[in-house]
């Protein structure tokens, strides 16, 4: 029996990202990839080479035309069976990263709400006006998800 031990929910979101591996003894190393899932405690992404567990990384993630920069530490790197790709799990280093993740998730949810309204009413809406509506309708329930 597999018991889920995660403290935070992970969302299956695929967004382009750039990872900078921070190493005190050599030049910074960069690679591009995409997220596989994202949660308040960290994220999982795939790449074409291994990254050492314990490495500190800076991840630049583009979400719905907005860029977020997150600091983290690699906690797991596993080669995917039958491929030349690796799954890299990163945990965030500070409570400040939790705030960034909440903001990122909120942007994603507002964009989804906007797309749903545009399809339903066959109109084009601007993000700012939809964001105000989303905040009025859903922000209280959204905030409760992060109460600890």
pLDDT tens figures, 14-70? 889 999 998 776 666 789 898 998 877 889 999 999 999 999 999 998 887 889 999
In angstroms, rounded to a whole number, what is the distance separating the alpha carbons of residues 61 and 35?
8
pLDDT at 59: 94
Mean pLDDT of the chain: 85
Looking at the fold, whether 110 and 129 belong to one and the same domain comes out as: yes
Q: What are phi and psi of 12, to 5 degrees?
A: -75, 85
Looking at the fold, whether 28 and 89 belong to one and the same domain comes out as: yes
In angstroms, rounded to a whole number, what is the distance separating the alpha carbons of residues 80 and 84?
7
Q: Spell out the alpha helix ranges (H) of 42-94.
A: none
Instruction: Residue 42: give its domain's CATH number.
Output: 2.40.10.220
Domain count, the chain: 2
Where residue 96 falls among pLDDT bands split at 50, 70, 90?
Answer: confident
- Is position 5 within any domain? no
The whole domain housing 46 covers 10-94
Residue 38 and residue 104 in contact, taking contact as beta carbons nearer than 8 Å: yes
pLDDT at 102: 80
In angstroms, rounded to a whole number, what is the distance separating the alpha carbons of residues 39 and 6?
10
**Mean pLDDT, range 122-147, rounded to an integer:** 87
65 phi-psi bin (left φ>0, alpha ψ -120 to 50, beta other):
left
Give first-to-last CA distance, the chain, whole Å: 27
């Amino acid at each position: 029996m597999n018991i889920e031990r995660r403290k935070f929910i992970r969302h299956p979101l695929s967004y382009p990202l750039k990872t900078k591996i921070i190493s005190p003894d050599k030049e910074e190393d960069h690679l591009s990839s995409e997220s596989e899932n994202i949660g308040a405690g960290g994220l999982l992404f795939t790449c074409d080479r291994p990254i050492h567990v314990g490495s500190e990384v800076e991840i630049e993630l583009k979400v719905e035309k907005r860029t977020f920069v997150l600091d983290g530490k690699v906690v797991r790197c596993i080669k995917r069976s039958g491929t030349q790709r690796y799954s890299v799990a990163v945990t965030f280093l500070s409570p400040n990263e939790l705030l960034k993740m909440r903001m990122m998730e909120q942007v994603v949810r507002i964009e989804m709400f906007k797309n749903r309204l545009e399809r339903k009413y066959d109109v084009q809406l601007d993000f700012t006006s939809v964001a105000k509506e989303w905040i009025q309708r859903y922000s209280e329930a959204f905030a409760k998800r992060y109460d600890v």
